[in-house]
Structure 1
Amino acid sequence: MRRTPLVSVLAGLALALTACGGDGDGDTTTAGSGGGELTGRGPITLVSGKDRSGNMQKMVDGWNAAHPNETVRIIELPDEPNDQRQQMIQNATTRSDAYTVLNLDVVWTAEFAANRWLAELPKNQLDTAKLLPATVTTGEYRGRLYAMPLTSDSGLLFYRTDLLKKAGVSEPPKTWAEMWDACDKVKKLPEGKGVDCYLTEVGKTEGLTVTAAEAINSTGGNIVDASGKPAVNTPQAKEGVDFLVNAIKDGRMPKAALTLDGEGGRRHFQAGKLLFHRQWPYQYGLANTDDGSSKVVGKFAVAPIPGPNGPGAANLGGHNYAISAFAKNKATALDFIKYMADEKQQKANSLATSQAPTVAALYDDPEMIKKYPYLPTLKAAIQNAKSRPVVVRYGDVTAAIQGSVYDALGGKTPTGQAMTDLQNKLTELTTP
């Protein structure tokens, strides 16, 4: 993502101030230090990406009815994560108190905490023991809690059960080769005409970083290794990206995918024009809505994403609630986060939206499983999922990944050269 000049300058100043102040082990009473008392009560704001379900407002209405003097107002940001992140950074670098509770993508925690844009959360007041362990780490930075996991996510393969059955395919594919074979069989059916084989996010957005990470991790590679060093100039990384390149080149994935975001893909699947779709769990509820908006109601199921030799490595997604270091009424904000993170609220939200909860027990809840039979599959996927690069300069890193991989997908740059270029870019961005 390319920052505006103002954001770049202010973010640079914030980084400089962070470097001067260390990692937050000193005085924690200054606003923006990431620590100090969470004091102040009164109205607050909840800053979030677009709420497609409308359920977030219902949950906020419940809070507001019980707390008339501490009401919450939702500030809805653009749908694209890159744009959400940019607006949150603009608010933080100007030290504005307009944003109180931030609904953060799980990979933003390190960047926001390192820059002291978040208030540290008291671990003794938030019950993280009941959450899936993989989700808890997404809210931590250097052993401290800065964000409370509210929803989790992992990539799943949505597939048309009706078309596979007619084509004589009894099980969802576990490998890329099996997926292509199933596509070929469906294409021979009269019902398969005009149906695209496969779609995942490959437009130049955050979704492409997710897609690239999943493809590379599925072949045994990494974007950044365990020591934090770039590792994309490898045969495994090239194999993963080549899978995506060849999918477009061979017509397995429509070229229109290069301009579609996640919502565009969802609409394509719900219109009945797609056989296999790598997507987040939120699509399940929308695609099964019997209001005329979906042509695939009761005609699809979900499975683990495939890989080269078996199930692939899904990406760990989700959203966490954090408190802006510059906000007023932080005590109210903390109580509101507790309210939203409560098991009862998480269950209600999941039932209404099909968003994945972070409370582990809900994956074994009979009512939940009855509505979402795939929950055991999703739980396993989350527990085994891999994260996108956890780096302080995440915005620059994801922009570099998107740029290099997109050039390879569009045929502008050979995959090998694209990976070499990306290795060089990431080395500059991750070197202290």
Structure 2
Amino acid sequence: MKRVAAAAVAVGVLFAATSCADQGIEAAAQAEKQNLDGRGPITYVQGKDNSNVVRPLIDEWNATHPGEEVTFKEQSDQADQQHEDLVQHFQSRDPGYDVAVVDVVWTAEFAARGWLQPLEGPMAIDTSGLLPATVAGATYGGVLYAAPQTSDGALLYYRTDLLDHPPATWDELIGACGTARQAGIGCYAGQYAKYEGLTVNASEAINTAGGSILGPDGVTPTMTTPEAKAGLQSLVDAYRSGAIPRESVTFQEEQARQAFQSGDLLFMRNWPYAYSLMNGQGSSAVSGKFAVAPLPGKNGPGHSTLGGHSAAINVYSEHKATASDFLKFFLEKKSQAFFLSQGSLAPVRADVYDDPELIEQYPYIPTLKTSIENAVTRPVTPFYPAVTRAVQNNAYAAIKGEKTVDQAAADIQSAIAAAGS
């Protein structure tokens, strides 16, 4: 009941605490206890399966589970549309979306609104073999609400034809920018356009400097601490000095990849998906001329922002036992290795990263494991949309010199405080 009460408070703050919201929390509390042993066909909901990863796995499941077949409901490839679709179905208490894939930043919002079945008691899953950061990304209020499915961690891509070894610290990276100038190329680019990627990149700088955007309670803003401001200042200084090229404030993931792939950058921060795209392509100017390392920190690996998705059971599902088994099927080593081999998606099981055959095929995965092990989730809060808007708007203004870091940090602080009041 404490968990339900906490969820009621969070939803009350976020959604004006109407009697309708109260009734929704009460209904969810009752639904948590129902259909725990329910078996039968289920529907699995996920964004567009561009790499044809999900369908073969579902076919494998269906071949051995007569009477518990899984139907795949494929959403669009746009995260905001996926989010809206889930909200509509969960809000209407539709039992038809039995298992849904949720972005790590949606977990707190959906859990606070009572829409996700807590994975405890008969619904518990074994997380002992999973990377701890992935479990943290599926947890809210100390309760696991989803099964980690695929993860993601940032990598530092660097030119091996221009450098003997990667920088171990941020200061070393900035110091290597002289090599970029001598080669007539840009030094370092991440994703600094005003969108979610900027929240990701700013969070990495802030966390790596020892700061945070929110406190552990998911409510108290902490952007005015010296550490948080120092992290944002590192990006501002790098942009002002030219270490981060001017055009980088227009970059999302693909623009950064294209610049690095064209040979125009010494360093790039990006996700693992870019690795295979830049190696072995005839149009890639850097094929065979780059490697990856963890993001550089103060005295070693920095803190990547954790990416990835988890699979959650709809609290109103009528076949929760089947849904639970399906989550566990996706967590099997064979399934996790298929996510990697078929879709270049980062596994959540630690043992996949230690498999010699997979390392030979995907030489970057030990580095990716280090990145994920040091990763930090974005702020875990049911107010996340307001938090990310505040970070994007003000970090962008600070990087471009339109605000001081002190002012940007103070404005992020006040915007987050207003969202939670």
- Alignment match, 2:413: 423
Pairwise CA distance, 1:111: 1.4
Identity of aligned residues (%): 43
2:175 aligned with 1:181, yes or no? yes
Where does 1:5-404 land on structure 2 (aligned, <5 Å)?
Answer: 12=15, 28-30=29-31, 34-38=32-36, 39=38, 41-48=40-47, 50-66=48-64, 70-79=69-78, 81-97=79-95, 99-122=97-120, 124=122, 126-164=125-163, 170-189=164-183, 193=184, 195-228=185-218, 229-288=220-279, 290-292=280-282, 294-327=284-317, 329-404=319-394
Pairwise CA distance, 1:329: 4.6
Residue type of the alignment partner of 2:15: G
Q: Residues 12, 296 of structure 1: CA spacing in aligned structure 2 closer, same or farther, 3 A cutoff?
A: same
SS in 2 for 1:198: strand
Q: Residues 320, 64 of structure 1: CA spacing in aligned structure 2 closer, same or farther, 3 A cutoff?
A: same
| Structure 1 CA distance for aligned equivalents of residues 406 and 197 of structure 2 | 22
Q: Which segments of 5 or more consecutive residues in structure 1 lack a partner in the other structure? A: 1-7, 165-169
SS in 2 for 1:356: coil
| Structure 2 CA distance for aligned equivalents of residues 260 and 102 of structure 1 | 30
SS in 1 for 2:303: coil
SS in 2 for 1:357: coil
- What's the TM-score once normalised by structure 2's chain length? 0.85
Q: Which segments of 5 or more consecutive residues in structure 2 lack a partner in the other structure? A: 1-10
SS in 2 for 1:158: strand
CA contact (8 A) 1:35 1:119 kept: no
CA contact (8 A) 2:35 2:319 kept: no
Pairwise CA distance, 1:328: 5.5
Q: Residues 307, 383 of structure 1: CA spacing in aligned structure 2 closer, same or farther, 3 A cutoff?
A: closer
Deviation readout 1:314-345 (Å, 9 max, x if unpaired):
22222111123345654443333222221111
| Structure 2 CA distance for aligned equivalents of residues 130 and 385 of structure 1 | 17
Aligned residues: 406
Deviation readout 1:130-182 (Å, 9 max, x if unpaired):
21223223222334331001122222211121232xxxxx2101223322332
| Structure 2 CA distance for aligned equivalents of residues 14 and 378 of structure 1 | 42
Pairwise CA distance, 1:112: 0.8
Residue type of the alignment partner of 2:166: P
Pairwise CA distance, 1:244: 1.7
SS in 2 for 1:149: strand
Residue type of the alignment partner of 2:104: V
| Structure 2 CA distance for aligned equivalents of residues 329 and 382 of structure 1 | 33
Q: Residues 402, 95 of structure 1: CA spacing in aligned structure 2 closer, same or farther, 3 A cutoff?
A: farther
Residue type of the alignment partner of 1:55: V
Q: Residues 55, 243 of structure 1: CA spacing in aligned structure 2 closer, same or farther, 3 A cutoff?
A: same
SS in 2 for 1:54: coil
| Structure 1 CA distance for aligned equivalents of residues 125 and 312 of structure 2 | 12
